[in-house]
Amino acid sequence: MKKQALFVLLLSSFLLTACGNPATSESKAPESSNQPAQSQQSADPSQPASQPQQSSAAQKSSSSPVGSIPYDTSNPSGTKIEQTAPENDIHTDLQYSFIKDPDWRNIKAYIPSVSAEGRSLGDLSQPKALSLKFEELGEAQTYYVQVSKDNKFTNAEVRTTTKKSYDFYNAEIGTKYYYRAAVSEDTLASATVKEYQVADTAPRYVHVDGVINFRDTGGWKTTLVNNGVVKQGLYYRCAQFNNGSRKNITAAGLQTIKELGIKVDIDMRDSGNVPSTSPINTADWPVEILKASVASGSEDGRWEGDHSRDHNIAATYKKIFEAIANADQKPIALHCTHGADRTGIVSFFLLGLLGVDVKDIGRDYVMTRFAGERAVMPNVEFDNWAQKTIALPGMTFAEKTYYHLNNDFGIAKDTLETIREKFVPGYTRPAGA
C-alpha cells in the first residue's frame, strides 16, 4: 500500500510539473543577425530572461508576471509564401506576402540581405497605387477625377490623368472612398459617383516622394476596445527627409506632406544632424520641428531611458509623448536616420500603449527592412524590448507599457490617457485617471 501511495504521489508531481511547464515547441530561436557589433545581444526570447536589465519598475516588483514573446510556427519551413495582393490592397505582392505569413519573424525569407552600404535591394517600402477605373467614358486626351471620403466631394481637389483610370496613392486602409470622373472639368459635378472599399491590411504604407520607410501607425487592431482599430492620420514614422547629396524629399513629396496634414517634424537624430528648420516646412504649409535627439550608440539604454552617452533619453521620450497627445491638432512625422531603431522604440512604446498585439508590433518593427537600408531583425533589439516589458507589472502588454511610460519616464497618466482617447475611437479613460 505504501508503494502504491508513493507511486501515486510521484505521478501527481510529474503531471503538475508537466502542466506548469508546457513544451516550447511553438517558440522559434532567433535568427543570427548581420547587424554591427554595437547592437546589443538579446537573450533567447523563447525563455523568460533570467536576469533582464530591468527598469526601476521591474526592480521594484520582483513578483511581476513573466511570460515569453508569442510566436506562430504555422510556417515551420521558414520559406517565403508568395501571395498576390488583392486589387484593393495598398501593398505590393512582396509586402502582402510577408504580412500574411503567420510567422512575423520570417522577414529574412522576403528580404534576404541588405548590404553594408544599405542599397543592395533598393527601396521596397513604397505602397502600390490603387486603380480607380472609369472605362465607360469616351475617348479624351485628359480625364478629370475627384476622390473623397464623402459622396458630396467636399473640398475634393480635381486631378487629371491621360488614361481611363486614376492611380490613387495613400488611401487610408479599411476606408470607403467615392470617386467620379469626366472628360471635362465642367461635367465633373454631374458625373456618375462610384464607391471603392480599400482593404484593411495593416500597416498603412504611404508614398512620399524622396522619403523611404514612411508608414502610418494607425490601422492596427487594438484590444483596448471591442473590435478596436488605431486611428489613422495622426502619427507617421519614416526615415530622414534630407540625406545630404544622396536623397531628399522632392516637391511632390512636400505636397504629400501637406495633403497628409503633417504639422510637426520630430527629429531623433544626433543633435548635430537636426536642422533649426524642418526640411518639410514650406511657405504655404508651415511645419514646426521638435528636436528630440537620442545619441547614436545608446542602443543598450534606450528601453531604460538612460545611457552613459545620453542621460536625457527619458526626458526626450516624455517630450515626444506630450507632442503625440496633441496629434489630432498637429499630426506628427517622427524619424531618425533610417527610421529603424530610435524611431522603432518610440513606435514600440506607442503601439504597446495603444493595445496593439505584441506580434503586430514586432511585424511593424521588422518591416523597416523593406526600406533596404537597415538589416533589421527581431533578435537585434525588439526581443530585448519585449522581454523587458513582459517582466513589468500588469496583466496585459498594454498595461505593462503604460506602467513603464508613467513610472520610469515620468509621462503623466493624463498624457497617456489622452493619447489612448485620441488614437483609439471608443476608448474611455477609467475614473480618476
pLDDT digits (tens, 9 = 90+) for 132-161: 999 999 999 999 999 999 999 999 999 999
CA distance 368 to 361: 12
Alpha-carbon distance of 187 to 124, in angstroms, equals 39
Name, in order, each residue with C-beta under 8 angstroms of 139's C-beta and a sequence gap of 6 or more.
none
DSSP-derived 3-state class of residue 318: helix
The yes-or-no verdict on residue 426 having pLDDT over 70 is: yes
C-alpha cell at 294: 537620442
Q: Residue 76's pLDDT is what?
A: 64
User: What one-character DSSP code corresponds to residue 203?
Assistant: S
pLDDT score of 33 = 33
| Angstrom distance (rounded) from CA 105 to CA 111 | 12
CATH superfamily of 111-127+206-423: Protein tyrosine phosphatase superfamily (3.90.190.10)
pLDDT at 433: 79
Question: What's the average model confidence in pLDDT over 343-352?
Answer: 98
CA distance to 24, 86, 173, 174, 237, per residue, from 201 (Å) = 30, 10, 7, 7, 17
Picking from 31-35, 261-265, 417-421, which range would have the lowest pLDDT averaged per residue?
31-35
Bridge partner residues of 194 (DSSP): 179
pLDDT of 382: 95
Average pLDDT of the residues of the chain = 85
pTM as predicted: 0.84
Q: What is the pLDDT at residue 114?
A: 77
Contact 361, 351 (CB under 8 A): yes
Looking at residue 226, its pLDDT comes to: 97
Percent of the chain with pLDDT over 70: 80
Would you state the pLDDT for residue 275?
A: 94
Domain residues of the chain, as ranges? 111-127+206-423, 130-197
> What mean pLDDT is predicted for residues 100-107?
94
| β strands within 299-353, DSSP E | 332-335
Band (pLDDT 50/70/90 cuts) for residue 293 is very high
Q: What is the pLDDT at residue 285? A: 98
pLDDT at 246: 60
**Given this model, what pLDDT does residue 25 score?**
29
Question: What's residue 375's pLDDT?
Answer: 87
The pLDDT of residue 113 is 81
Q: For residue 363, is pLDDT > 60?
A: yes
Q: Which residue has the higher pLDDT, 319 or 57?
A: 319
- Where in 329-430 does DSSP place strands (E)? 332-335
Please tell me the predicted confidence (pLDDT) of residue 77.
67
- The Cα–Cα gap between 149 and 153 comes to 7
Provide the terminal-to-terminal Cα distance of the chain, rounded to the nearest Å.
Answer: 61
Residue 231 · residue 257 · CB < 8 Å? no
- Chain centre distance of CA 380: 17
